Chains A and B, each alone.
Chain A
Amino acid sequence: MFRGLIICIYMIVLFFLISASPAFAGEQAVTSGAASQMPWWAWPLILFVVTFFLGIVAVLGGVGGGTLFVPIIGGFFPFHLDFVRGAGLLVALAGALAAGPGLLKKGMADLRLAVPVALIASACAIVGAMIGLALPTNFIQTALGATVIGIVIIMIVAKKSEYPDVKQADALSTALRINGVYHEATTGQDINWKIHRTPYGLATFILIGVMAGMFGIGAGWANVPVLNLMMGAPLKVSVATSKFLLSITDTSAAWIYINNGAVLPMVVVPSIIGIMLGSIVGVRILAKTKPAAIRYIVIIMLFLAGSRALLKGLGIWN
Chain B
Amino acid sequence: MESKLKASEEQVAYAKILDKGMKAGLLMLIITFIIYMIGLLPSYIPVDDLSKYWGMPVHEYLEHTKIHPGWAWLNMLNKSDFLNFVGIAFLAGVTMICYIAIIPILFKKKDTVYGIIAIIEVLVLALAASGILSAGGH
Contacts and interface: CB of A to CB of B under 8 A. Distances in A.
Interface of A: 30-36, 38, 40-41, 43, 78-80, 82-83, 90, 93-94, 97-98, 100-102, 104-107, 110-112, 115-116, 118-119, 122-123, 126, 129-137, 175-177, 179-183, 190, 192, 247-248, 251-256, 258-269, 272-273, 276
A273 B30 CA distance: 8
A180 to B, nearest CB: 4
A128 to B, nearest CB: 11
A133 B133 CA distance: 12
A116 B69 contact: no
Nearest to B3: A181
A258 B137 CA distance: 14
Contacts of A256: 128, 133, 135
A101 B124 contact: no
Interface string B25-36: 110011011001
Interface of B: 1-8, 10-12, 14-16, 18-19, 21-22, 25-26, 29-30, 32-33, 36, 47-52, 54-58, 60-62, 67, 69-71, 81, 84-85, 88-89, 91-92, 94-96, 102, 113-114, 117-118, 120-121, 124-125, 127-131, 133-138
Nearest to B134: A260
Secondary structure at the B interface, as helix, strand, loop or mixed, is helix
Contacts of A115: 114, 117-118, 121
A137 B138 contact: yes
23 contacts: A30-B55, A80-B55, A83-B54, A90-B91, A101-B18, A104-B12, A111-B102, A115-B114, A132-B135, A135-B138, A175-B113, A177-B2, A181-B3, A181-B5, A248-B125, A258-B92, A259-B133, A261-B61, A265-B85, A266-B81, A272-B29, A273-B29, A276-B26
